[in-house]
Chains A and B, each alone.
Chain A
Amino acid sequence: NAGVTQTPKFQVLKTGQSMTLQCAQDMNHNSMYWYRQDPGMGLRLIYYSASEGTTDKGEVPNGYNVSRLNKREFSLRLESAAPSQTSVYFCASTRTSGVQETQYFGPGTRLLVL
C-alpha cells in the first residue's frame, strides 16, 4: 500500500515550457486534490476532483489544468510555466469516516521555473 505517490520529485523548467505533474493513490478514495505550498502562504487549493469524471477550481486555479484520468490518477498540467508558479506541489486524497475526514498527502513535487 503506497498511499499517494507523485512524480517527478523535482523539476526545473524555463518560462513558457509545459509539464504535467502526476499523482496516483491506491486507497480507493473518491476525492483528490492539488495544492501548492509557498513560504508564508500555507497550503492553497488549486483544483480538486470530488469523484471520477468531475473536477472543480479551487482558490488559485489560474495557469493550471487538471485531468482525473480514473479513480486512482489525478494529473496537474502547467501549459506555459511562469516564475510565479515556482512552488512545492502536493497531491492529496481524502477518506471520510463518520464525522472525520482524513487527507493523505503525497511527498510533493518541487518545481522551479526560471
Chain B
Amino acid sequence: QKEVEQDPGPLSVPEGAIVSLNCTYSNSAFQYFMWYRQYSRKGPELLMYTYSSGNKEDGRFTAQVDKSSKYISLFIRDSQPSDSATYLCAMNPFQGAQKLVFGQGTRLTINP
C-alpha cells in the first residue's frame, strides 16, 4: 500500500464547475500538506500549503485537511480552462523535503 493515494483520473468537467480533488494517506505523522499544479511538460508549482488540520483559502482555491480521517482535499471554484493540469498532493512529517511524499497526481481537464 502506498503512503499517499491519489486517484489519477483523468477528470473532465465543464467550465464553471466546482472541482474536488482528494488524497488519502496512511502515515499519521504527516503534518505539512501541499498541493502542486503541473502543466503539461512543465515542472510542478506550489499551489497551496497547509500546516496541520483545517481549511485554507486562496482566491478560487480551498485546501482542506482532515487529519482524523487522513484525508485532504483541494476545491477549485468557478473552474477555468486554464486550470487544466495535473494536480499533485504532497505531505511531510516535518519541514525539509527529505521525507516529502507525493501522490501520483490527478489529471484535470476543464472543457470550455
With a cutoff of 8 Å between Cβ atoms, the chain A residues found around residue B45 in the complex are 104-105
Contact of A53 with B by CB under 8 A: no
A86 lies within 8 A of chain B by Cβ: no
Structural contact, B46 and A42, CB atoms closer than 8 A: no
> Which one of B32, B51, B96, B103 lies within 8 Å of A42 (CB-CB)?
B103
Would A92 and B97 count as touching, CB distance under 8 A?
yes
Of A13-21, A63-71, A72-80, A94-102, the stretch lying at the interface with chain B is: A94-102
How many CB-defined contacts (below 8 Å) exist between A and B?
A: 61
Q: What are the residues of chain B within 8 A of A105 when measuring CB–CB? A: 43-45
Closest 10 CB pairs of A and B: A105-B43, A42-B102, A42-B104, A43-B102, A100-B49, A99-B51, A105-B44, A102-B46, A107-B43, A106-B43
* Residues of A bordering B, CB below 8 Å: 4, 31, 33, 40-45, 48, 50, 56, 58, 90, 92, 94, 96, 99-108
30 A-B residue contacts at CB 8 Å? A31-B96, A40-B104, A41-B104, A42-B6, A42-B102, A42-B104, A42-B105, A43-B44, A43-B88, A43-B90, A43-B102, A45-B97, A45-B98, A45-B100, A48-B97, A48-B98, A58-B98, A92-B43, A100-B49, A100-B51, A101-B95, A103-B44, A103-B97, A105-B44, A105-B45, A107-B41, A107-B42, A107-B43, A108-B41, A108-B43
